Amino acid sequence: MSSEWPDTLAAAPGQYAACGRGEEHGLGVHWEVLLGITGKDFTIIAASKAAMRGATVLKASDDKTRALNSHSLMAFSGEAGDTVQFAEFIQANIQLYSMRNSMELSPSATANFVRGELASALRSRRPYTVNLLLGGYDEIADKPTLYWIDYLASLAPVPYAAHGYAQYYCLSLLDKHHHPDIDFAQGMKILRMCSEELKRRLPIDFKGLMVKIITKDGIREEEYADDQNVAVP
């Protein structure tokens, strides 16, 4: 009977602390950086540009995000193949909703839809191993939004978030410096602190960050210089 469970759950249920998740088995998965920060009127989504397979960097300008509609953006990391497949499946369905109904799904509805798909996949024959950040701007509440979703389909609305090892470096920085009403310049400043810390402490080169911003005007890519060296004490 237990063979019907998804591998991730059957392996050793004890290791999943709850309200949370366990270790992934895919190598290199943890090294991918996903970062999200909300502020007064914006959400920043940053993702590392390295596409890795084992010990090899295949690409240094990888885009780990997909726009779902004009006001929500999904960043993803996880097992190669699953990620883009799942993201584009979600993207297609959210766009289909927009076309059919001539209106866009709100960020919270989008997040719960994504969670539902991931959760039903989790207990299927082959689950998706994908971690997600869903940045958006809720035009009705006039507020930026950010949702943290992991491959077990745990969903949490958060003011700032990260996935992979980046969590251990960035969440403490964000705990200290983040406020709900920071302006865009302050948000970018905190992001800079995070990326410098990652460059300083992560043992691999993640090839810099691709940064996208969601505001009431939509999604845009932000120039993000990451060629200067960071001093390591």
Partner 1 sequence: MIPPPDGGACVAMVGKDCVAIACDLRLGMQALTVSNNFPKIFSYGDVHLGLTGLATDVSTVSDLFRYKVNMYRLREERNISPQTMANLVSSSLYERRFGPYFVSPVIAGINQTSGKPFICGFDSIGCIDFAKDFIVSGTASDQLFGTCEGLWEPDLVSCACSGDMG
| Contact residues: partner 1, CB under 8 A | 1-2, 4-5, 9, 13-22, 115-116, 119, 122-123, 148, 152-158, 161, 167-168, 171
Q: Which is nearer to partner 1, 157 or 215 (CB)?
A: 157
CA separation for the pair 170, 175 (Å, rounded): 8
Min separation Cβ 16 and partner 1, Å: 4
Min separation Cβ 13 and partner 1, Å: 5
What is 152-190 written as a DSSP string? T--EEE-SEEEETTHHHHHHHHHHHH--TT--HHHHHHH
Min separation Cβ 73 and partner 1, Å: 20
Q: Which is nearer to partner 1, 8 or 106 (CB)?
A: 8
Min separation Cβ 140 and partner 1, Å: 20
CA separation for the pair 79, 130 (Å, rounded): 6
**Tokens read off for 232:** 């390591």
Instruction: Give the closest residue to 51 by CA, choosing from 36, 75, 65, 32.
Output: 32
Q: Which is nearer to partner 1, 127 or 208 (CB)?
A: 127
Q: Which is nearer to partner 1, 133 or 210 (CB)?
A: 133
Min separation Cβ 172 and partner 1, Å: 10
Q: Which is nearer to partner 1, 96 or 156 (CB)?
A: 156
**Could you tell me whether strands 43-48 and 34-38 are parallel, antiparallel, or unpaired per DSSP bridges?**
antiparallel
Instruction: Check: CB of residue 148 under 8 Å from CB of residue 37.
Output: no
